[in-house]
């Protein structure tokens, strides 16, 4: 050791104080280490040890060739509860730190060569508390000189920063989690940081909402990235959130933004929430937004539609009702009550009680149809309390509840008395007019035929051809008048049918052959129901076939042929008339069997007619227990079919 010796007493006074480590250092048998007994220590070591022990800063010293160790109370916790302490005191550096020797020894050598080392938050795992622990340090290694100024040790002033590092790692992780959460959120989210609200993170939905790309907004001040959003009040709202720390939320807020290259008004529900740091200071704002433009537009459309419907309902004097099918509770509009002659709303059965006794069945049937098809539609008479009779029309639709069960009928009622009166006047007029026309036309026809016979006898061929044309047109007029008469009779329920039994094929063959004389197109007759007898009005079935064949001819101007087919289908016999003409659009197919219906298209005026033929045919067939229907494709042609029940051998009278 050095020449400058100090007495033990003096030496120990240097080591006074210093808490636990002070005491341990005083009691330690230093003579057994290469440092030697305290009395032999150089002044520089005594001073160093004294500074270390009295320091409240964690300090550590390696001294001499063996790098013998000294440390203080402040350093002691870094050695753990059970582990290196107290063995580390006086121990050789290498014996104490075998696990980190490869890390620290090169550093020490640097220091011993005269260069100080400083490192921050350095991970140096050490063995403590029974296992190897990740410990972070901020430390400086500086040269410790002996009395001669020679570097003889390494003074370590250090601070364990494990807690700080872990806390900041946790913070980093939680920030990362927050960012991930934002990026994957199913709603638009972003984080704005600092006084100019720099967009730190924004997810795809938020970028879509803004109509901006990542490059246009990320790490840019919000209103620089989205200039269109400026001046709409959001700057102030954001500032307030940062100043007060209070969350701001808004519903259906209108924002004008440039999206897809054009300025659009969009509606958003959003929340601005202050982002607080550990010390409660506000560093930014978390934004959560949901675009509700479509919902608002849909609502506006519904409101508009409702308004229009209300207007239409009021203008058309339509009454509305809502009937609960389970409870029979009926909610009605004022107009509905008025139609039924009630000053205010009544129970369901009060309305039903007004239905004319003869029409009650119509209503019951309509309700049966409602349960099958979901649609309610009927016309009936009601007898109001003041005895006046009114015609009403009800139209409704069934509605399901959330479980898919039919629970309500919602519909409308219209007073159609005036309309019915007009229809009756029209029917009466048609009835009277056609009746009055029938007699003179029959007479004209008679005279035409007489004239024709006379001209035949005289051999006046030119006049004869004029007269046969006249006869043809008179026949057309007669048919028309007959149709009108039949239709009025059907409407008033006065059509008389004259029943007879006949073989169906025989009738179809006969009419088709007769029609072939008047039609230039070829009629292919394919009768395949021999022996099928029907009991019905022969003349009316003749009229039906004639009408269908004439239509097939009329509506297929460019076709070469028409096919007339019969066949048996179970206990029915079917007649099909097929043409290859203009066909019928699917949506019109069901309409054509109604009276006065003619398909409204470019060809309407090309083909003459008044739209009664199919109505009459269908009424006849339905009355006879058969069916009439059409299969058609526009531009390709149509197949009209009707069926009638066959009578069995034993049912026949002769």
Nearer Cβ to ligand ADP (575/612): 612
Give the C-alpha separation, 462 to 453, whole Å. Answer: 14
587: buried, middle or exposed (CB in 10 Å: 19+, 13-18, 0-12)?
A: exposed
Nearest to 394 by CA among 308, 332, 328, 315: 332
Q: Which stretch binds ligand ADP (CB under 6 A): 64-72, 111-119, 305-313, 546-554?
A: 546-554
Helix pair angle (538-554, 504-518), 10° resolution: 40
- Closest to ligand ADP by CB, 382 vs 630, is 630
Q: Which residue is nearest to ligand ADP (CB)?
A: 609
Give the nearest distance from C-beta 615 to ligand ADP in angstroms. 6
Residue closer to ligand ADP (CB basis): 392 or 614: 614
List, in order, residues 6 or more apart from 284 with CB less than 8 Å away. Answer: 191, 192, 193, 194, 197, 200, 242, 274, 275
Residue showing tokens 């000053």:
343
Contact segment (CB under 6 A) with ligand ADP among 76-84, 110-118, 176-184, 551-559 equals 551-559
Residue selected from 609, 623, 631, 647 as contacting ligand ADP according to rule CB under 6 A: 609
Q: Is 486 in the site for ligand ADP (CB under 6 A)?
A: no
Residue 546 binding ligand ADP, by CB under 6 A: no
Residues 6 or more apart whose CB falls under 8 angstroms from that of 98 comprise none
Contact between 41 and 64 under an 8 Å Cβ cutoff? The reply is: no
Shortest Å, Cβ 533 to ligand ADP: 28
Q: Is 235 exposed, middle or buried (0-12, 13-18, 19+ CB in 10 A)?
A: middle
Instruction: Please answer whether residues 108 and 124 qualify as being in contact, where contact means their C-beta atoms are separated by less than 8 angstroms.
Output: no
- Whole-angstrom Cα distance, residue 614 to residue 486? 12
Q: Smallest distance, Å, CB 532 to ligand ADP?
A: 24
Q: Which is nearer to ligand ADP, 161 or 643 (CB)?
A: 643
Counting contacts by CB under 6 A, is residue 374 touching ligand ADP? Answer: no
Collapsing DSSP states into helix, strand and coil, what is residue 157? Answer: strand
Please report the DSSP string for 254-289 in residue order: EEEEEETTEEEEEEEEEEEEEEE-TTS-EEEEEEEE
- Select 537 or 579, whichever has its Cβ closest to ligand ADP: 579
Nearer to ligand ADP, 72 or 547 (CB): 547
For 555, list phi and psi in degrees, rounded to 5: -95, 15
d(CA 192, CA 222): 8
Asked whether position 544 contacts ligand ADP by CB under 6 A, the answer is: no
Binding ligand ADP (rule: CB under 6 A), the pick from 353, 432, 497, 610 is 610
Q: Which is nearer to ligand ADP, 54 or 595 (CB)?
A: 595
Q: How far is the CB of 597 from ligand ADP (least distance, A)?
A: 6
Q: Which is nearer to ligand ADP, 391 or 555 (CB)?
A: 555
Query: Counting contacts by CB under 6 A, is residue 614 touching ligand ADP?
Result: yes
Interacting residue with ligand ADP among 161, 551, 566, 641 (CB under 6 A): 551
**Among 52-60, 374-382, 461-469, 594-602, which window interacts with ligand ADP (CB under 6 A)?**
594-602
Query: From residue 288, how far is each of 81, 245, 535 by CA, in Å?
Result: 48, 16, 79
Q: Which two tokens stand for residue 281?
A: 């200071």
When binding is defined by CB under 6 A, the residue of 599, 629, 645, 647 that contacts ligand ADP is 599
| 545/614 with CB nearer ligand ADP | 614
The reply to whether 613 sits near ligand ADP by the rule CB under 6 A is: yes
Query: Hey, which residues does 443 pair with through a beta bridge?
Result: none
Q: Count of residues for the chain?
A: 654
555 binds ligand ADP (CB under 6 A): yes
Say if CB 200 and CB 219 are below 8 A apart. Answer: yes
Q: Which is nearer to ligand ADP, 225 or 583 (CB)?
A: 583
User: Between 558 and 587, how does the x/- string for binding to ligand ADP read (CB under 6 A)?
Assistant: ---------------------x-xxxx---
Q: Which two tokens stand for residue 320?
A: 């509305």
Q: Report how many residues bind ligand ADP under the rule CB under 6 A.
A: 21
Residue 598 interacts with ligand ADP (CB under 6 A): yes or no: yes
Q: In angstroms, what is the minimal distance from the CB of 596 to ligand ADP?
A: 8
CA 398 to chain CA mean position, Å: 23
User: Cα separation of 380 and 364, whole Å?
Assistant: 11
The least CB distance from residue 506 to ligand ADP, in Å, is 24
Say how far apart CA 34 and CA 66 lie, in whole Å.
Answer: 7
Which string of DSSP letters, residue by residue, matches 2-36?
-S----HHHHHHHT---HHHHHHHHHS-GGGSTT-
160 vs 579 by CB, closer to ligand ADP: 579
* Comparison of 18 and 583: residue with beta carbon closer to ligand ADP: 583
* 515 belongs to the binding site for ligand ADP (CB under 6 A): no
Strands 282-291, 262-276: pairing is antiparallel
Does residue number 638 form part of the binding site for ligand ADP (CB under 6 A)?
Answer: yes
Q: Is 245 in the site for ligand ADP (CB under 6 A)?
A: no
* Residue 69: C-alpha distances to residues 21, 62, 227 (Å): 12, 5, 65
Q: How far is the CB of 557 from ligand ADP (least distance, A)?
A: 11
Minimum CB separation of residue 625 from ligand ADP in Å reads: 21
Q: Residue numbers of the site for ligand ADP (CB under 6 A)?
A: 547, 551-552, 555, 579, 581-584, 592, 597-599, 609-615, 638
């Amino acid at each position: 050791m050095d020449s400058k010796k100090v007495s033990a007493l003096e030496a120990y006074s240097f080591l006074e104080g210093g808490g636990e480590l002070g005491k341990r250092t005083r009691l330690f048998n230093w003579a057994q280490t290469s440092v030697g007994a305290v009395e032999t220590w150089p002044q520089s070591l005594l001073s160093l040890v004294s500074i270390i022990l009295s320091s409240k800063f964690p300090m550590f010293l390696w001294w001499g060739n063996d790098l013998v160790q000294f440390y203080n109370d402040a350093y002691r916790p870094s050695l753990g509860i059970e582990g290196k302490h107290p063995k580390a005191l006086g121990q050789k550096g290498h014996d104490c730190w075998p696990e980190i020797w490869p890390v620290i020894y090169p550093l020490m050598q640097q220091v011993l060569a005269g260069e100080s080392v400083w490192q921050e938050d350095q991970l140096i795992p050490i063995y403590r508390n029974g296992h190897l622990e990740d410990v972070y340090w901020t430390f400086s290694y500086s040269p410790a000189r002996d009395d001669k100024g020679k570097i003889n040790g390494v003074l370590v002033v250090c601070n364990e920063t494990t807690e700080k590092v872990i806390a900041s790692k946790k913070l980093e992780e939680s920030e990362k989690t927050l960012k991930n959460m934002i990026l994957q959120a199913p709603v638009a989210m972003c984080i704005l940081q600092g006084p100019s609200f720099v967009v730190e993170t924004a997810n795809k939905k938020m970028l879509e909402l803004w109509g901006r790309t990542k490059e246009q907004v990320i790490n840019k001040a919000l209103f620089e990235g989205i200039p269109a959003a400026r001046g709409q009040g959001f700057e102030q709202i954001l500032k307030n959130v940062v100043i007060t720390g209070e969350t701001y939320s808004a519903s259906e807020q209108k924002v004008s933004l440039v999206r897809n290259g054009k300025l659009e008004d969009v509606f958003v529900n959003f929340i601005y929430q202050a982002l607080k740091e550990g010390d409660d200071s506000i560093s930014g704002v978390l934004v959560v937004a949901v675009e509700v433009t479509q919902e608002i537009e849909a609502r506006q459309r519904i409101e508009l539609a409702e308004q229009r419907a209300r207007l239409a309902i009021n203008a058309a004097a339509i009454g509305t009702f809502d009937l609960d099918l389970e409870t029979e509770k009926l909610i009605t509009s004022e107009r509905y009550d008025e139609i039924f002659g009630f000053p205010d709303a009544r129970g369901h059965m009060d309305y039903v009680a007004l239905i004319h006794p003869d029409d009650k069945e119509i209503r019951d049937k309509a309700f049966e149809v409602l349960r099958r098809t979901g649609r309610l539609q009927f016309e009936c008479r009601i007898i109001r309390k003041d005895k006046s009779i009114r015609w009403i029309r009800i139209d409704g639709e069934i509605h399901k509840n959330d479980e898919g069960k039919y629970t309500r009928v919602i519909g409308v009622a219209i007073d159609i008395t005036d309309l019915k009166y007009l229809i009756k006047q029209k029917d009466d007029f048609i009835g009277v007019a056609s009746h009055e026309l029938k007699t003179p036309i029959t007479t004209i026809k008679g005279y035409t035929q007489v004239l024709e016979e006379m001209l035949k006898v005289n051999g006046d061929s030119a006049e004869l051809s004029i007269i046969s044309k006249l006869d043809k047109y008179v026949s057309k007029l007669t048919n028309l008048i007959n149709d009108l008469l039949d239709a009025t009779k059907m409407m008033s329920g006065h059509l008389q049918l004259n029943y007879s039994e006949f073989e169906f094929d025989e009738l179809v063959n006969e009419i088709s052959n007769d029609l072939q004389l008047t039609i230039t197109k070829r009629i292919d007759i394919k009768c395949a129901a021999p022996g099928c007898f029907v009991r019905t009005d022969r003349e009316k079935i003749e009229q039906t076939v004639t009408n269908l064949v004439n239509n097939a001819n009329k509506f297929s101007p460019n076709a070469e042929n028409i096919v007339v087919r019969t066949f048996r289908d179970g206990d029915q016999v079917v007649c099909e008339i097929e043409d290859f003409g203009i066909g019928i659009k699917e949506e019109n197919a069901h309409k054509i069997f109604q009276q006065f219906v003619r398909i409204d298209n470019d060809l309407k005026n090309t083909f003459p007619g008044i739209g009664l033929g199919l109505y009459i045919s269908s009424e006849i067939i339905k009355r006879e227990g058969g069916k009439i229907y059409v299969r058609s494709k526009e531009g390709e042609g149509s197949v009209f079919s009707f069926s009638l029940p066959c009578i069995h051998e034993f049912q026949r009278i002769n």
